[in-house]
Chains A and B, each alone.
Chain A
Amino acid sequence: MDLRLSGIAHRYGDLTAIERVDLTVGSGETVVLIGPSGCGKSTLLGIAGGLLAPGAGRVETAGAAPAGCLNPLTYVFQDFALLPWRTVEGNVALALEHHPLTASERAERVDAALALTGLREFALVYPKQLSGGMRQRVGLARAVVVRPAILLLDEPLSALDAQTRELLMADLLAIWERERTTALYVTHNLAEAARLGDRVVVMSRRPGRIKDTLAIDLPRGARERPEHAAAMADLQARLWRLIEDEARVAEREVADG
């Protein structure tokens, strides 16, 4: 399923957060959105998922959703957004409970999602008993349980330590390969962008506009291999050059309030 954003603009009071953003994410493609703090990345993601009404512009999807898809546009949140009073299983099942599924269909889906994210043995555990990485796995399981057509990921790994981030990146790649999900992924982390994206879209500082787009033609699952180290370093350096000045100005804007 394609995701198409046309002429998106958004204001918070007098502040223009986003100005004229056009972006299409093709079916099965992963587009990573990077940019300086406050450039409107998360706002754009909120608009893409229908959680924020755009000031101007249109959001559309095109193409067929995968079989069994219950929630075509599905979020993965930076802070996991887990219900602390529900177990892992309960959190994952939440996404299904308002759909007309039989109990066995529901249980099957939850079990498959838990298996896919390595959480089967933690099904009856509460979120507070889990590490940050495991909590985000629950967030991922809750997302995949509805068999989404498009995943919207808002800095899903930013609250995690470097090692956990590596592990979850590998898991994300495996899930994307398997499910062929379209993904729009917001991050601050250039290494993450270079590892995960088919394309990296660089946004300018506020008001956010698309400044540049880099297509990455290295095979996605093999970018961490030594033979691609130089190309990856070069890619990250290019991304940093695109973003550095914007980030410096944005940092001063934040400091000036």
Chain B
Amino acid sequence: MAESAPRPVAFRGGGFQPSPRRWAPWLAFAAILGLWQAASAAGMLPSLFMPSPVEIGRALGSLAASGDLGRHLGASLYRIGLGWTLGAAAGLAVGLAMGLWSMARAVGIPVVSALFPIPKIALLPLFILWFGIGEPSKVATIALGTFFPTVVSAFGAVDNVPRNLIRMAQSFGLPVAEIVRKVVLPGALPGVLSGFRISASIALILVVAAEMIGAEFGVGAYILLTGNLMQIDRLLAGVVVLSLLGLAIGAILGRVEAWLLRWR
């Protein structure tokens, strides 16, 4: 290179590094609500079809004050709690068995692959015929809907436990049951917990759908009722409740995950 005056080397390594912006989501929410409220106030959004955030807030307040919120939310939580617990527990048992035993895997993979893609809500009419219009059909729909994703995640989680850790345990002569308890299960825990997050979201979707068919109480039933009565502010208040419920479930699972996986 010919002799010339020294030139500074320009920095070109910036960007592509996400950094936290704690205020940004709050600002975004505030901006969306503010614009929405302004558009409603200006008459750009007809109140009948798209009530303002203030109206939805009022509907939510009266829903809470009347005690209906507790009744609807309680019914939904009961169905989610029971259905998810049954589905996740059974799915966990089957998924772990498939991960641990070749025979369970050989039988389980084709069966799960065949049944997993069926939209479980499509089976609700069948469950109503089997179990009646009451709680069991709704709980069964949620349990079945959460069973399959839990099976898949638990199986995958066991399958992904590094084999070198199992070999290590074998090299020290640990009995099989101890290897499962001390190596395989803790190693599979992150994958199992990720599966729980997914199945909890599915449970929330299914409870709403199930409650729209023959339920007196439940957030899904409330949304359907208010929609039929053209009470859109109340309908959207129900949607807000669902959103908050999803956030709460996610936050609880996040806490549980952070505690159980504190070694990460």
Give residues in A with beta carbon < 8 Å to B. 49, 51, 71, 73-75, 77, 79, 81, 83-86, 94-95, 97-98, 126, 128, 142, 146
Cβ of B168 and Cβ of A85 under 8 Å apart? no
Give residues in B with beta carbon < 8 Å to A. 162, 164-165, 167-175, 178, 182-183, 186-187, 189, 261, 263-264
Cβ of B264 and Cβ of A74 under 8 Å apart? no
Cβ of B264 and Cβ of A94 under 8 Å apart? no
Cβ of A85 and Cβ of B263 under 8 Å apart? yes
Cβ of B175 and Cβ of A98 under 8 Å apart? yes
Chain B residues whose C-beta falls within 8 Å of the C-beta of A83 in the assembled complex? 165, 182-183, 186-187
Q: Which of B167, B182, B187, B263 contacts A51 (CB 8 A)?
A: B167
- State the Cβ distance, A80 to closest chain B Cβ, in Å: 9
Q: Measured between alpha carbons, how far is A128 from B263 in the docked complex, in Å? A: 8
- State the Cβ distance, A195 to closest chain B Cβ, in Å: 25
Q: Measured between alpha carbons, how far is A94 from B167 in the docked complex, in Å? A: 13
* Number of inter-chain CB pairs below 8 Å: 51
Cβ of B169 and Cβ of A94 under 8 Å apart? yes
Q: Which of A79, A84, A128, A146 contacts B172 (CB 8 A)?
A: A146
Chain A residues whose C-beta falls within 8 Å of the C-beta of B171 in the assembled complex? 49, 51, 71, 73-75
Q: Measured between alpha carbons, how far is A37 from B37 in the docked complex, in Å? A: 69
Q: Measured between alpha carbons, how far is A128 from B264 in the docked complex, in Å? A: 7
Q: A74-B171, A86-B263, A97-B182 are in contact. List 15 more A-B contacts (CB 8 A).
A: A71-B172, A74-B172, A75-B168, A81-B162, A81-B164, A81-B165, A81-B168, A83-B182, A83-B186, A85-B186, A85-B261, A94-B174, A94-B182, A98-B173, A126-B263
Chain A residues whose C-beta falls within 8 Å of the C-beta of B167 in the assembled complex? 51, 77, 81
Chain B residues whose C-beta falls within 8 Å of the C-beta of A71 in the assembled complex? 171-173
Cβ of A79 and Cβ of B178 under 8 Å apart? no
Closest B residue to A129 by beta carbon equals B263
Q: Measured between alpha carbons, how far is A4 from B137 in the docked complex, in Å? A: 66
Across chains A and B, which 6 residue pairs bring their CB atoms closest together, nearest first? A81-B168, A75-B171, A85-B263, A95-B172, A81-B164, A85-B186
A–B complex contacts, Cβ < 8 Å, 27 sampled:
A51-B170, A51-B171, A71-B171, A71-B173, A73-B171, A74-B171, A75-B168, A75-B171, A77-B164, A79-B164, A81-B164, A81-B165, A81-B167, A83-B165, A83-B183, A83-B186, A83-B187, A84-B263, A85-B187, A85-B263, A86-B263, A94-B169, A95-B172, A97-B182, A98-B174, A98-B175, A146-B172
Q: Measured between alpha carbons, how far is A73 from B171 in the docked complex, in Å? A: 8
Q: Measured between alpha carbons, how far is A238 from B261 in the docked complex, in Å? A: 51
Cβ of A77 and Cβ of B173 under 8 Å apart? no
Chain B residues whose C-beta falls within 8 Å of the C-beta of A74 in the assembled complex? 171-172
Chain B residues whose C-beta falls within 8 Å of the C-beta of A128 in the assembled complex? 263-264
Closest B residue to A84 by beta carbon equals B263
Cβ of A77 and Cβ of B172 under 8 Å apart? no
- State the Cβ distance, B13 to closest chain A Cβ, in Å: 24
